[in-house]
Structure 1
């Protein structure tokens, strides 16, 4: 499958699992850093941050690397924006 001319690869189960563990660790580090700096996020913002961090980790496994040019950066930002828009739409329907 291609998006904007970028050939995507299908990550294996182990790669997705490793990405999920990495995303959880990065999210915890960010939340701890924000709490120590006395600027903690509320629950909805923290959930959005977790989704974006998870997308960043899985996106690299799919072959979307922001250091490989503008197209990769555009796809990463587009997918992250769509994920956040869906998340906020669902949260606004529930709340």
Structure 2
């Protein structure tokens, strides 16, 4: 499968699990930094941050790397933006 001419690879279960663990750790660090800065995130912002961080971790396992050029950066921004837009639509319907 290709996105913007980038050949994607299918990550294994272990790779997705490792990405999820890494994303959870990065998310906890992000939330802690926001809390220490005395501007804590609300639940909606924290959920959006978790999704974008998770996408960043899984995207690398799929072959979308920011150091590979502008097409990779564009694919990462487009996919992350689509995930975030969908999340905000769902949250506006639920809340």
Q: Aligned residue for 1:65? A: 65
5 Å matches for 1:12-91? 12-91=12-91
Q: Distance in 1 between matches of 2:45 and 2:77?
A: 18
Q: Distance in 1 between matches of 2:5 and 2:20?
A: 26
Unmatched runs of 5 consecutive residues or more in structure 1: none
Tell me the TM-score normalised to structure 2 length: 0.99
Shift of 1:86: 0.4
Q: Distance in 1 between matches of 2:9 and 2:40?
A: 36
Q: Once superposed, what is the RMSD of the aligned Cα atoms?
A: 0.4
Q: Distance in 2 between matches of 1:61 and 1:81?
A: 18
Tell me the TM-score normalised to structure 1 length: 0.99
Unmatched runs of 5 consecutive residues or more in structure 2: none
- Pairs aligned (count): 95
Q: Which runs of 4+ in 1 moved over 2 A?
A: none
